[in-house]
Structures are given as structure tokens and as C-alpha cells.
Amino acid sequence: MHANEQLVRVCLAAIPETRMAVRSVFADDRSGVCEWTMSGTLEGVLDGLPEQLAALAKGKHFTMPGATVYRFSADGRIQEESLYWDLAGVLGQFGLLPRL
């Protein structure tokens, strides 16, 4: 299983009614960027979030902006993918960090 596929499976298990909205897409023949917003309600344990903190956040709704950056090979296939998201903002919405 590809690492990104595993990440999606873990997220969907913890946030069963995940919503994704694409905000913008920019691309040329060698690179691209997709800006997105993810929202949902935490119902399980997220990878990397200690169980006791997940228990405090369970049932809380969040909205998280993010971006995926792509590098394409010469034949147009995705060669590299990097994900960026606002984890501190989500933890603030869960009440686990001060809101920034």
C-alpha cells in the first residue's frame, strides 16, 4: 500500500464524514499545486495524536486549510508529492492548543 493511501485510510477511520473542497489548482508541465480545505468531526484516533488527547478532541468539528505540491516527470506522471496543512490550527479548534 502506498504511504498516501495509508494516510487516507487512517484519516477516514478517524474522521468518517471527511469533507474535502478544492480551492484552487495551478499546474504547468513540471509542477502543480492544489489548495484545499478539509473539514470533519473527529471520531477516532489520528496517527501521531496521543490517545488521551484524541479522547479530549472526540466529537469536535474542525476546518483545516492545506496544499499539495506536485512535481511531474518528463512523461507527466507524479514524481513527488508534498502535503502541507495547519495542524496547530486544528489542535486549537479541538481545544488542545491556544487558538492562534
pLDDT digits (tens, 9 = 90+) for 5-27: 777 788 888 898 999 999 999 99
Is residue 79's pLDDT more than 70?
A: yes
Average model confidence (pLDDT) for the chain? 89
Q: Give the integer Cα–Cα distance in Å for 21 and 100.
A: 23
Is residue 78's pLDDT more than 90?
A: yes
User: Residue 43: CB partners within 8 Å, gap ≥ 6?
Assistant: 14, 15, 16, 58, 59
pLDDT, one tens digit per residue, over 57-76 is 999 999 999 999 999 999 99
Mapping DSSP onto H, E and C, the string for 33-61 reads: EEEEEEEEECCCCCCCCCHHHHHHHCCCE
Specify the pLDDT at position 2. Answer: 64
